[in-house]
Amino acid sequence: MEKRIYNEQTGISYTLQGDYYLPDLALPDQEDKPIGLWGQRHLRYIKQHRKILYINLLTSGKLNEHLADTDKQADNMFSRLVNQMAEREGVTEQLKADNQTEWVTQMNNIRSRVSEIVNNDIIYN
């Protein structure tokens, strides 16, 4: 038996694995973009809860691009909302200089609330 065969009708080559010929399939090349925290969270979510979307993005070669865009969008939203909420609630550099503990407490509270907003609006959507 031949190790490899090529089907001219379908344009697919096959390799002998044990007693069966399996198609030689490969995913399309993807541009490798860095993915941060938000992108990793979104990847975990779509793998577990949106499997069809995950498979479609993976097989079309657009998964990495989608995750990088989601990460960038979430990071921008996070930064913007933290700044807006800190300004609205009076968490300033003056407070940081006067009472660091209070500043850290308030900023942690703001960051926690903003994380929930970003998770709800972008990551788990």
Q: Which residue has the tokens 């989601």?
A: 70
**70: exposed, middle or buried (C-beta count within 10 Å: 0-12, 13-18, 19+)?**
buried
Of residues 121 and 2, the one with the higher pLDDT is 121
CB 73 within 8 A of CB 108: no
Whether 108 is covered by a domain: the verdict is yes
pLDDT of residue 53: 96
Of 96, 41, 39, 97, the C-alpha closest to 64 is 39
pLDDT value of position 119 = 97
Q: Which domain holds residue 77?
A: 31-123
Q: In what order do the strands lie in the sheet with 4-7?
A: 4-7, 12-17, 20-23
Write down the pLDDT at residue 8.
Answer: 87
Please report which confidence band the pLDDT of residue 12 belongs to, taking 50, 70 and 90 as the band edges.
confident
Domain-located, residue 2: no
pLDDT digits (tens, 9 = 90+) for 73-93: 999 999 999 999 999 999 999
- The CA distance from 14 to 18, in Å, is 12
Number of domains in the chain: 1
Is the torsion defined by CA of 30, 32, 38, 41 positive or negative?
positive
Is residue 112 situated within a structural domain?
Answer: yes
Which whole number is the average pLDDT over 13-33? 84
Query: CA-based Rg of the chain, rounded to a whole angstrom?
Result: 24
Whether residue 51 is contained in a domain is answered as yes
| Burial tier of 27 (Cβ tally within 10 Å: 0-12, 13-18, 19+) | exposed
Q: What is the pTM of this model?
A: 0.78
Q: Kindly state whether residue 13 falls inside one of the protein's structural domains.
A: no
- Whether the Cβ atoms of residue 70 and residue 39 lie closer than 8 Å to each other: yes
Residue 83 belongs to a domain: yes
User: Considering the domain boundaries, does residue 104 fall inside one?
Assistant: yes
Does residue 19 lie in a domain region?
Answer: no
More confident residue, 5 or 83: 83
